[in-house]
Amino acid sequence: MNLFNILKNGLFSLDPEHAHEIALKGMQLAYRTRTSGLFGAQKFTKPCKLMGLEFSSPVGLAAGFDKNADYVDALAALGFGFIEVGTLTPKPQAGNPKPRLFRLAEQQAIINRMGFNNKGIEHAAKRLEKINYRGVLGINLGKNADTPLENAVDDYLTGFRALWKYASYITINISSPNTRGLRDLQQKVFLSSILRTMKEEQTKILQREKKYVPLVIKLSPDMTDEQTEEGAKIILEEKIDGVIATNTTVSRDGVLESKYVNETGGLSGMPLCGRSTHVIKKLASILKDEIPVFGSGGVMDEETAKDKLNAGARLIQVYTGFIYHGPEIISRIAKVF
């Protein structure tokens, strides 16, 4: 039994947000003392090339785990093929009031309404300046809660301009359910404008800095099939480089028996798996091989990862599965590719 399994019961007895902070500090300590293997960490190399990037393996960490880019090297030591930090906003913000994170252990799920709590892009830039990690690093960008929707693109541009030099790719997060109105940015009138403006900035950076930074968009699982199809067509038209499917859901299917069923926020974990896989399949049927889909949402084991690959995902991101099963899940999933 590895150290993660020994510590899991203790961590799960604590408030989830406090447990998360302790776990991150524990991973940092393990990295500094070169004992990450005690947590079940394994290096699994299966290189793949997508979006012009060389991934050491196709299994990565989703955004939200290391919001401020404080623990990149420690997380990399656990065996991830790529890491995505954030969500980051231009200005620091506290997020929503606590409690805002709920562990639904029986359903292998989590409900969160964190609200993009983060230290802002300046803090992240200072942290990323010092990391040793040289693998694929995604930086997930959002808008500040007090930025009007009509000005949202300015926040994404601010993040892009400040952090492009540290990013292997940039993720445009318009799908979190925990910032009021954010998901409205998935509507055609906003989506086309944001993606076009970000592509223009991408071109400027390429011309000026000679670095192409792929743009990825993260979508909601709660769109209708028609909305997903419309979004996919816009993504094709604007030549976005990748799509993450999906963010968390506001549905409570699969957790109706939980005492937390009435808590607001996004649901992740096993109950999200089927819906996320459905969205992947719908996107892949339109995007074909032109734009890769990252499979995220309810990846809890080899079987759920296979479902997403069969639906058309080219890369896998874990978050809730990592919380419930520890670093061992990384190499286990990587082996199904």
Res 295: pLDDT: 96
How does residue 1 score in pLDDT terms, banded at 50, 70 and 90? low
DSSP 139-183: EEE---TTS-GGGHHHHHHHHHHHHGGG-SEEEEE---TTSTTGG
Res 190: pLDDT: 87
Beta bridge partners of 59: 316
Q: How many Å apart are CA 134 and CA 5, to the nearest integer?
A: 29
193-201: average pLDDT: 95
Residue 197 has pLDDT above 80, yes or no: yes
**CATH fold for the domain made of 3-334:** TIM Barrel (3.20.20)
Q: Please name the amino acid found at residue 22.
A: I
pLDDT tens per residue across span 252-293: 999 999 999 999 999 999 999 999 999 999 999 999 889 999
The pTM of this model reads 0.93
Q: How many Å apart are CA 133 and CA 25, to the nearest integer?
A: 18
CB distance 70 to 127 below 8 Å = yes
Which residues are identified as catalytic? 176
How does residue 50 score in pLDDT terms, banded at 50, 70 and 90? very high
Q: Please name the amino acid found at residue 218.
A: K
DSSP 89-152: -SS-B--SPSP-EEEEGGGTEEEE---S-B--HHHHHHHHTT----SEEEEEE---TTS-GGGH
Collect all residues with Cβ–Cβ distance below 8 Å to 300 and sequence separation of at least 6: 108, 269, 270, 273, 320, 321, 324, 325, 329
pLDDT tens per residue across span 68-77: 999 999 999 9
Res 200: pLDDT: 97
Q: Please name the amino acid found at residue 52.
A: G
How does residue 163 score in pLDDT terms, banded at 50, 70 and 90? very high
Q: Measuring CA to CA, which residue among 230, 16, 220 is closest to residue 102?
A: 16
